[in-house]
Structure 1
């Protein structure tokens, strides 16, 4: 049994409240791509399982845990003639400009964890550029030693590649790392990498959706210091 010495965070639904941040983004994106065609905007919303009327994602939406390219493939099926790479770049730029809603006051929370000697990293299925832009906008980029996107060269969750790269880069054993996320992709990746699987409820998933994969379920990342301080193993 090993004491936690490092924490690897998911981004959306973990550091940032998922619906509050990405609901408005999705409405803007499908409306813009629809080009004034309400029926097309509706099909685009349906492709990513987003309810335009309610402004909410279905819990099964690929936007929640999929990579940017996976989301673009679904949208591109409704946009014949659009260049795929151009759509990827378009959505990546839109994501970088998304208005962020922090799940908790991030500067305070993450600084406390750093002050306890914990080393921090980020692993997201968003692009690395978007991840860095979001952390920079929140004023916390410098608190992270490693930042991985789906395009950083180590694969994407639920595969364990980026998680193992994080541990190897720090020179720590995977069992000394807690992977914190709001989706089953995050927790499956943690299990595959041999890390502690910590679930938070600031994304669309409910506790019962995550319980079979999680070592612990917290309301949000604000509970991490107490959990680790209590001798989490």
Structure 2
């Protein structure tokens, strides 16, 4: 039986390309002081196609932390300190418009009505995660929120997953980890959780399926995987 669900944020609760492409355009233009040729070059360093307005599958932004982004950009911006670069990334991220993968309030309310606990584990900062959830008016639905800076480590390590289970007094086997990247699925499996991959990020089903118990187009199909007693249905229901 599943007692709780732990969600990744970007690419899972929110559509990755829609939300983070807007962040990339704003942040990169600022970092390049308005020079679009320079912005395009910085985008390429991050795995972002400036002209197409989309991230590549190998982008460090997809499942990485702010430190990963800083490390990639630092050699390109020698006049900017690491601390300042992190601050600029965080400020742009907090203001990035988020595109909900499905209408989140009714989706989360339906899960809560089943008696399920819900949490967020993101490689973004906790403050940015809280800002994005508050902007969608769903912050109060979550029983647990952790970022890479919350003291539990970053994914693909299992720290955030294990902290979620511990905070709720649950066995990891009672938790379903939901995410759009291999980092999410590896973290969940390392913690001893069941895993669900969704396709609202950049990775395709062929990438996620070998590491997930289920793969769905988006989180909207999650309830269909649960029977009335919150037991997971057979895996052949996954698409």
TM range (shorter): over 0.9
* Structure-2 residue corresponding to 1:74: 72
Give the Å deviation of 1:28.
Answer: 1.4
Distance in 2 between the 1:212 and 1:24 partners? 31
Q: Report if the CA contact (8 A) 1:25-1:98 is conserved.
A: yes
Give the Å deviation of 1:37.
Answer: 2.9
* Structure-1 residue corresponding to 2:237: none
Query: Is residue 216 of structure 2 the alignment partner of residue 214 of structure 1?
Result: no
Give the Å deviation of 1:24.
Answer: 1.6
3-state DSSP of counterpart to 2:211: coil
* Structure-2 residue corresponding to 1:157: 155
Q: Report if the CA contact (8 A) 2:40-2:51 is conserved.
A: no
Select 1:15's aligned residue among 2, 13, 16. 13
Q: TM-score, normalised by structure 2?
A: 0.94
1:86-97 equivalences under 5 Å are: 86-97=84-95
1:187-198 equivalences under 5 Å are: 187-198=185-196
Distance in 2 between the 1:91 and 1:60 partners? 19
* Structure-2 residue corresponding to 1:140: 138
Distance in 1 between the 2:211 and 2:32 partners? 38
Give the Å deviation of 1:64.
Answer: 0.4
Give the Å deviation of 1:226.
Answer: 1.3
Distance in 1 between the 2:21 and 2:79 partners? 27
Aligned residues: 231
Q: Report if the CA contact (8 A) 1:196-1:215 is conserved.
A: yes
For structure 2, the 5+ residue unaligned runs are 234-239
Q: Report if the CA contact (8 A) 2:199-2:217 is conserved.
A: yes
Distance in 1 between the 2:127 and 2:227 partners? 33
Distance in 2 between the 1:203 and 1:195 partners? 21
Runs of 4+ with deviation above 4 angstroms: none
Distance in 1 between the 2:127 and 2:15 partners? 19
* Structure-2 residue corresponding to 1:50: 48
For structure 1, the 5+ residue unaligned runs are none
Give me the CA root mean square deviation.
1.0
Distance in 2 between the 1:54 and 1:68 partners? 23
Distance in 1 between the 2:133 and 2:36 partners? 34
Which one is further off, 22-31 or 201-210? 22-31
Distance in 2 between the 1:111 and 1:68 partners? 31
Deviation per residue, 1:98-119 (Å, 9 max, x gap) = 0111000000101100000000
Distance in 2 between the 1:194 and 1:182 partners? 18
Q: Report if the CA contact (8 A) 2:157-2:187 is conserved.
A: yes
3-state DSSP of counterpart to 1:64: helix
